[in-house]
Structure 1
Amino acid sequence: MPELVKKVLLWGFVAFLIYFMAFRPEGAAEMFKAIGAGLMAMFQGFGDFLTSLMT
């Protein structure tokens, strides 16, 4: 992808996040909680997989 397109998309995403957090803080908090819970579940599953390989 051209460098200019990447920069525009990145800045657009950052602007959307700032707008979302400013005008819908409850929704933003719930979204980040859900992302965090998903990441924790993914890493927990990865840890369980590695543990089962070692035993």
Structure 2
Amino acid sequence: MRLIIIWVVVIFLLYSVINDPQRSADVVLALWDVIWGAIANIGTFFEELFTGSIGR
């Protein structure tokens, strides 16, 4: 069952890229922005956490 789901997802992704490559690129860039923003925010959290506790 898991293998079937993986193949369906791969086929759908290929269809999406072939059918509308510009929109597919926009989706990937938007996801990258979300992931990068999350990583940056986690980094900021830990930076504030450690610098705030050391400075007290």
Structure 2 unaligned runs (5+)? 52-56
Give distance in 1, aligned partners of 2:22 and 2:34.
18
Give distance in 2, aligned partners of 1:10 and 1:46.
30
Larger Rg: 2
The sequence identity of aligned pairs, in percent, is: 24
Structure 1 segments, 4+ long, off by >2 Å, are none
Matches within 5 A, 1:1-55: 5-55=1-51
- Count of residues in correspondence between the two structures: 51
TM-score by length of 2: 0.86
Structure 1 unaligned runs (5+)? none
TM-score by length of 1: 0.88
Please give the root-mean-square deviation of Cα atoms over the aligned residues, in Å. 0.6
